[in-house]
């Protein structure tokens, strides 16, 4: 093997309230870690950028301590085992694992999120449509609030990996699907790539009228990816007994004094608002991956990824995600798929 | 018959934002209305005072237009037919009907909420434990979020007719029941009259510690009668997949810039928050009344009413309800049960 001899890391340079800035991060050249007995060395291929990382950095996410300056930023990667002192992990094995933002990591099994079967789809999809974002959509549409045939299913952050997959699964289940996204480019992805019936650009003046026109039969299921302000704006379009799946709220992440949900309209609509956490559906990952992989091969489930190349570009790509400018799953291509 | 010859009415004197004052009402001596063909004259016996009336007065409740000065205040009564030009309503029939705040009303059938079978229980309970407040509790406990044996069921406004009945029904279903109420006297009603396992006085310093101590096994079902601030304070005690029934929020009624529900903790607990409206369960009223009547006779379902005497005392009794000072169902005894 012709591996690099050094490990590139992106570390925290300083904590900050609110949206981070580029100089809160520092790129450091470190030694490739030793591999203790029972551990194995992995090389990152695709680094996953996700909204929860912002919360994890400041210790505001389950299982993540607040980062101190000089510590490697949290993150999961599609990675490959390159050296091993653990019988269950062989060089060449593909994994999704908690590597952090670095090119190499020495791991123990508890840092492994899942093994990857490369036959299921492109490797990068293991952190996208075939990974946690896809499973989140599956948890919502298959478990928490399955839409009925002919119902109107609305999903926010529609161009993203969770929203895009949820909408396509809802459409496969017979629903009419209306996306909500910020900007024309994202709406085009929802319409052309994902095949939604409509997509409303909430940044456009008059979007509420468009929303009404897109949901003349009322909203039956709303998959919420963005938080309370949009939910409060949509309730008036709900049908009685509408169901809401709450599965993330990046819009709330930077707002200590955020807007909460108004209960009166929820009562009036007899709405059911259900919190969900993707980890509750990990047991169903094999079934989801088989299903989604087949749908992908048949061209019935499509995905969009926003790649950047090179670990050193990770902070900028992450800030793009924080600003909501990514179109599709945000990924950093860190290293080669083989070799 | 020896009826009064005049009709006493309580009318609106002026609209006001916020909590009404005594001089927003006026007592007027009016003629007893004529009875047109197809109508019937009723005499009020027990007038029901309910939080929704405040919203109805200002036109902020379904089916109620904003009152103008000089109009009779909205309200339902237990009443008796005293004269009739409708074949289906005979003198002596007992009804719950939309009479408004007055001693006599000429009604058509669409103003009738239900007929009363006096054998089911005391007449006044037709607007309390055997009426809409009881049916609200039944809708919650029997339909929307039935507690399981051994689960912890928490109910706010615990001394009131909805909360008190909901808690007792939950206890009959095998739950451990914890009430929340304002003041020692209300907590005593929840503990001694209704037999709750615990009741926490939220007006007492340290009430959150008492709440924690009363719910060591976590909260499984929360029946909410008061709105977002208390819900936000209780979520931390929720067990995973806790269910919340939203059925009224008098605390929100006077607050245009009210506090909304924070979504983050709802997601973290995978909680299910369900709005309910009692009118959806009217079809089940006969079954509820049979069940509740039997339980009352057996001493297993108890109720508390806060009576005042005389229609002229209605505004003061209503303001007491608005201030949350009533203990049990607020009722005005307007006229005799017979004669």
User: Model confidence at A253, in pLDDT bands (50, 70, 90)?
Assistant: very low
Q: How far is CA A215 from CA A154, A205, B99, in A?
A: 9, 18, 40
B273 in reach of chain A (CB within 8 A): yes
Measure B308 CA to nearest chain A CA, in Å.
31
Q: Which domain holds residue A25?
A: 6-128+304-333
Q: Is the same domain home to A136 and A264? A: yes
**Domain-located, residue A338:** no
**Domain-located, residue B285:** no
**Cβ contact A246–B266 (<8 Å):** yes
pLDDT attached to residue B197: 98
Q: Is the same domain home to B147 and B98? A: no
pLDDT attached to residue A1: 52
Q: Is the same domain home to A206 and A312? A: no
Q: Is the same domain home to A118 and A142? A: no
pLDDT, mean of residues A245-255: 64
Q: Range with the lowest mean pLDDT among A147-151, A251-255, B329-333?
A: A251-255
B269 in reach of chain A (CB within 8 A): yes
**Domain-located, residue A288:** no
pLDDT attached to residue A145: 98
Angle of CA points B121, B122, B127, to nearest 5°: 95
**Domain-located, residue B73:** yes
Task: Using a pLDDT cut of 70, give the percent of chain A over it.
Answer: 96
* Domains held by chain A: number: 2
User: Residues 59 to 98 of A: which have CB under 8 A from any B CB?
Assistant: 62
Q: Is the same domain home to B191 and B167? A: yes
pLDDT attached to residue A205: 94
Q: Is the same domain home to B232 and B147? A: yes
Structure tokens at B209: 């510690």
Instruction: Enter the ipTM.
Output: 0.85
**Cβ contact A270–B274 (<8 Å):** yes
CB atoms closer than 10 angstroms to residue B24? 17
Q: Is the same domain home to A161 and A123? A: no
Q: Which residues of B touch A247 (CB under 8 A)?
A: 267
B226 in reach of chain A (CB within 8 A): no
**Rg of the Cα atoms in chain A:** 20
Partner residues linked to A331 by β-bridges: A48, A307
Residue A228: which of B232, B247, B263 has the nearest Cβ? B263
Residue B228: which of A246, A248, A260 has the nearest Cβ? A260
**Domain-located, residue B208:** yes
Contact A276, A222 (CB under 8 A): no
CB atoms closer than 10 angstroms to residue B234? 21
pLDDT attached to residue B299: 96
pLDDT tens for B3-44 read: 788 999 999 999 988 889 999 999 999 999 999 999 999 999
**Distance between CA atoms of A156 and A246, rounded to whole angstroms?**
11
A199 in reach of chain B (CB within 8 A): no
pLDDT tens for A82-99 read: 999 999 999 999 999 999
3-state secondary structure of A165: helix
In the predicted model, is pLDDT for residue A152 greater than 60? yes
**Distance between CA atoms of B323 and A71, rounded to whole angstroms?**
55
pLDDT attached to residue B1: 52
pLDDT attached to residue B257: 61
**Domain-located, residue B339:** no
**Domain-located, residue A100:** yes
pLDDT tens for A64-75 read: 999 999 999 999
**Cβ contact B267–A275 (<8 Å):** yes
A277 in reach of chain B (CB within 8 A): yes
pLDDT attached to residue B92: 97
Q: Is the same domain home to B89 and B141? A: no
- At A120, which CATH number? 3.90.180.10
Q: Is the same domain home to B319 and B259? A: no
Q: What parts of chain B have a pLDDT lower than 50?
A: 251, 253-254
Q: Is the same domain home to B317 and B264? A: no
pLDDT attached to residue A113: 94
**Domain-located, residue B288:** no
The beta strands (E) that lie in chain A are given as 6-12, 25-31, 40-48, 76-84, 94-97, 104-107, 112-115, 152-156, 176-181, 198-201, 219-224, 238-246, 272-275, 305-309, 329-333
pLDDT attached to residue A61: 84
HEC profile of B37-74: CCCEEEEEEEEECCCHHHHHHCCCECCECCCCCCCECC
A239 in reach of chain B (CB within 8 A): no
Q: Is the same domain home to B144 and B111? A: no
Contacts of residue A165, Cβ cutoff 8 Å, sequence gap at least 6: A129, A133, A134, A136, A137, A138, A292, A301, A303
In the predicted model, is pLDDT for residue A10 greater than 80? yes
- At B171, which CATH number? 3.40.50.720
Residue B277: which of A261, A270, A276 has the nearest Cβ? A270
What burial letters (b/e) apply to B189-198, b meaning 16+ CB within 10 Å?
Answer: bbbebbebbb
- Among candidates A320, A53, A304, A271, which has minimal Cα distance to A158? A304
Residue B267: which of A246, A263, A269 has the nearest Cβ? A246
**Distance from chain centroid for Cα B108:** 24
pLDDT attached to residue A251: 46
Q: Is the same domain home to A49 and A167? A: no
pLDDT attached to residue A256: 55
A270 in reach of chain B (CB within 8 A): yes
Tokens 């300056």, located at residue:
A69
């Amino acid at each position: 093997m012709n591996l690099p001899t050094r490990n590139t890391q992106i570390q925290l340079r300083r904590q900050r309230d609110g949206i981070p800035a580029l100089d809160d991060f520092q790129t450091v050249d470190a030694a490739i870690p030793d591999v203790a007995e029972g551990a194995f060395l992995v090389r990152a291929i695709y680094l996953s950028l996700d909204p929860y990382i912002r919360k994890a950095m400041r210790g505001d996410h389950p299982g993540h301590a607040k980062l101190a300056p000089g510590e490697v930023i949290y993150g999961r990667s599609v990675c490959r085992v390159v050296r091993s002192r653990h019988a269950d992990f062989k060089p060449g094995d593909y994994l999704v694992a908690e590597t952090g933002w670095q090119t190499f990591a020495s791991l123990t099994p508890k840092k492994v999120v899942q093994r990857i079967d490369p036959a299921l789809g492109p490797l990068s999809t293991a952190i996208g449509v075939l990974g946690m974002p896809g499973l989140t959509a599956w948890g919502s549409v298959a478990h928490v609030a399955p839409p009925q045939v002919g119902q109107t299913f609305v999903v926010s952050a529609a161009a993203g990996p969770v929203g895009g997959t949820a909408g396509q699964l809802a459409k496969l289940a017979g629903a009419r699907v209306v996306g909500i996204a910020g900007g024309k480019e994202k709406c085009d992805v929802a319409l052309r790539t994902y095949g939604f019936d409509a997509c409303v650009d909430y940044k456009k003046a008059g979007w509420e009228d468009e929303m009404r026109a897109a949901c003349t039969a009322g909203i039956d299921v709303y998959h919420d990816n963005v938080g309370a302000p949009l939910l409060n704006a949509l309730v008036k379009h709900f049908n009685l007994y509408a169901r809401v799946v709450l599965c993330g709220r990046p819009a709330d992440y930077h707002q200590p004094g955020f807007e909460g949900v108004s209960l009166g309209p929820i009562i009036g609509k007899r709405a059911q608002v259900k919190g969900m956490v993707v980890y509750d559906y990990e047991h169903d990952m094999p079934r989801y991956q088989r299903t989604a992989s087949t749908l992908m091969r048949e061209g019935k489930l499509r995905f969009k990824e926003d790649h950047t190349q090179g670990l050193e570009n990770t902070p900028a790509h992450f800030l793009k995600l924080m600003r909501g400018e990514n179109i599709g799953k945000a990924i950093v291509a860190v290293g080669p798929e083989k070799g």
